[in-house]
Structure 1
Amino acid sequence: MYDKIIALLAEMGVDTTDVTPDSTFRDLELDSLSMTELAINAFTHTGVLAEGLTLDTTLAEAVRAFSHAAEPLGA
Structure 2
Amino acid sequence: MYDRLVALLSEIGIDSSGVTPQSTFRDLEMDSLSMTELAVNAFEATGVLVDSLTLEVTLAEAAEKFAGAAEPQKA
Judge same fold: TM > 0.5, yes or no: yes
CA-to-aligned-CA distance 1:11-53 (integer Å, 9 cap, x gap): 1111111100000000000001110000000000010111211
The letter of the residue matching 2:58 is T
Q: Which amino acid aligns with 1:61?
A: E
In the alignment, which residue of structure 2 is the partner of 1:32? Answer: 32
Q: Give the alignment's TM-score, normalised by structure 1.
A: 0.95
Give the match for residue 21 of structure 1: 21
Seq. identity, %: 65
RMSD after superposition? 1.0
Describe how 1:1-75 pairs up with structure 2 within 5 A: 1-74=1-74
Residue type of the alignment partner of 1:73? Q
Where does the alignment leave 5 or more consecutive residues of structure 2 unmatched? none
5+ unaligned residues in a row in structure 1: which ranges?
A: none
Q: TM-score, normalised by structure 2?
A: 0.95
Count of residues paired in the alignment: 75
